[in-house]
Amino acid sequence: MRCSRPVTAILGISALYHDSAAALLVDGRIVAAAQEERFTRRKHDAGFPAHAIAYVLDEGGLDLASVHHVAFYDKPFLKFERLLESYLAYAPRGFNSFRMAMPVWLREKLFLKDLLKRELSLFDPGFSVDKLLFAEHHISHAASAFYSSPFEEAVVLTIDGVGEWATTTVAIGRGKDLEIQRELHFPHSLGLLYSAFTYYTGFKVNSGEYKVMGLAPYGQPRFRDLMLDRIVDVKPDGSFRLDQRYFNYAAGLTMTSKAMEDLFGHSVRQPETEPLTQFHMDIAASVQAVTEEILLRMTRALAQEYGIPSLCLAGGVALNCVANGKILRDGAFRDIWVQPAAGDAGGALGAAQAAWHMELGQPRRAQPGDAMRGAYLGPAFDDDRIAADLTAAGARFTRLDEGEILARSAQALADGKAVGWFQGRMEFGPRALGNRSILGDPRSGSMQKLLNLKVKYRESFRPFAPSVLREHVSEWFDLDGDSPYMLLVADVAERIRRQMTSEEQALFGIDKLNIRRSDIPAVTHVDYSARVQTVHRDTNPKYHALISAFHDLTGCPLLVNTSFNVRGEPIVCTPTDAFRCFMGTGIEMLVAGNCLLEKEAQDASLHENYENMYELD
């Protein structure tokens, strides 16, 4: 979108904590949004999002001097207040964490206005701090959810680790108005509870939580009651308190304390030396069950209290798609909508939306579907640019018309090949939704293992998501509604369920008997669940056409969809990124725009060079 003489342009920024990003609103309309990591190639890049800002301004056809307001997604002085008060509460035990945090705060975060002015002056030498606006962290989350949603009125629930003080907030959105009704405060945090068990099971905090969610179906929640009895005190309305004896995040440099190890009889798993065991699977199942119990109590109480049929969700916990699916099926709310960039990156968008509606008082009218337009808000590359970049990288490719591209791609997928699919505008948020995706045949018993071990280079237990034509979703899954952002888990339909064969068990490397699968085993988790993405013709016509072509060939209206990257690397952004990932992995075909590349046609020395770039462990 190119903008001319906008009435009001607002740049939103999130930075310096997790997943820096920038977003641009013009007259209230979302023009562009992107995470900094996609440009710098540093996963979860928390630095100032200079590249993302340059992109969103270019997408809007603006320079920074034309922007009326710059909105930042939280208030650093309030966060600093929390740091100081937490230190005083735990002193002297918290001195080491305090000592390590202070240099960063004094150098950057406490004097954020100065940092923002310095960085933004590189875009506009005359930039004035008078343009700066600051929203509280959870207001940014709530605004990103409500103002982007299809609802005129909604309860808005935001849950994450911690903002300034708040860890959970309840707000009511009506029209342009959004008001916080109540909050839970640090150190009592559902996000930090989940992160603590992420750490305890040997995964990386702030990026490994989804691994715990994926591991949970392999276990039994046999520690659920112990957690609820000893660690988490949950009230009937879902409010809760955490017994801080079991945690160390408020005062120390680790997430859990020795008391946690004593309670469960196991020390923190060392990921490089200690294998995952049934104990870790049961711990994952238990913390997932506790999380779901808290969320269900909370949402039931909110639905009863406010009598509003619609619920919006944001914050990092809203990325727990298993819990989201249970909230929907529970039925306390008739409709739920989850912000696809629910984590801190989405705060950039929410800060800009809060400035437009709450600070400037501009009216809002809910749009059919939602305001995110499929979350396709990042950079796009036309066929000439794609061809030029691929040529410069040494690629060998064929340019075809769209009909041939669809036919060749669908046939390759039906033949069991892994296909890199690079099309249109990059997605905003952590999920690839059909524009920066690696695709496969969901009917294949070997596809999950192939993608995990030969393409993604990640743990073999990790499930993959199905992209299904919206018009066919209820035939294949226990879901009869929209899930465009891959943020709801549903069970596969009864008619396609079956037991895993012994041959499939060998392919998956699973020794247990009677593992439950389906006729689409590559996207069915061991509990008969799947993280569903519904594909809509109006938001992504080319991806819809590809799945339709595959459906015509096979009778199956869905594909395996996983993000176009390998473990530890951000999703690809440019054609060059896509070619590098294609050459360094087991992807057999790359389709970038209308350029088609086959692995066997490429220079073998390039494959070896790119493969060596990745840490294959």
Cα 569 to chain center, whole Å?
A: 14
SS percent in the chain: helix, strand, coil, step 5:
40, 20, 40
Degrees, nearest 5: CA angle 57-60-66: 65
| CB burial readout 404-420, b (16+ within 10 A) else e | ebbebbbebbbeebbbb
Q: What backbone torsions phi and psi does residue 564 show, to the nearest 5 degrees?
A: -80, 85
Residue 152: CB partners within 8 Å, gap ≥ 6? Answer: 174, 175, 365, 366
Taking CA atoms, 254 is separated from 17, 113, 186, 246, 494, in Å, by 17, 31, 16, 11, 44
Reduced to 3 states (helix: H, G, I; strand: E, B; else coil), residue 515 is coil
Nearest to 447 by CA among 546, 566, 562, 548: 562
The position carrying tokens 């904590």 is 17
Q: What does the alpha-carbon distance between residue 251 and residue 405 come to, in Å, rounded to a whole number?
A: 56
Q: What backbone torsions phi and psi does residue 306 show, to the nearest 5 degrees?
A: -100, -20
Question: Which residues are designated catalytic?
Answer: 18
Strand residues in 450-543 grouped as ranges (E) = 465-469, 488-491, 497-499, 516-518, 529-535
Assess contact for 584 and 555: CB atoms under 8 A. no
For residue 10, the cross-strand partners are 25, 69
Q: What does the alpha-carbon distance between residue 235 and residue 241 come to, in Å, rounded to a whole number?
A: 9
Nearest to 570 by CA among 418, 428, 375, 385: 428
Structure tokens at 393: 């990288």
Structure tokens at 199: 């750490």
Q: What does the alpha-carbon distance between residue 427 and residue 33 come to, in Å, rounded to a whole number?
A: 9
Residue 533 burial by Cβ neighbours in a 10 Å radius (0-12, 13-18, 19+): buried
By DSSP bridging, strand 497-499 and strand 398-399 are: unpaired
Residue 610: CB partners within 8 Å, gap ≥ 6? Answer: 580, 583, 584
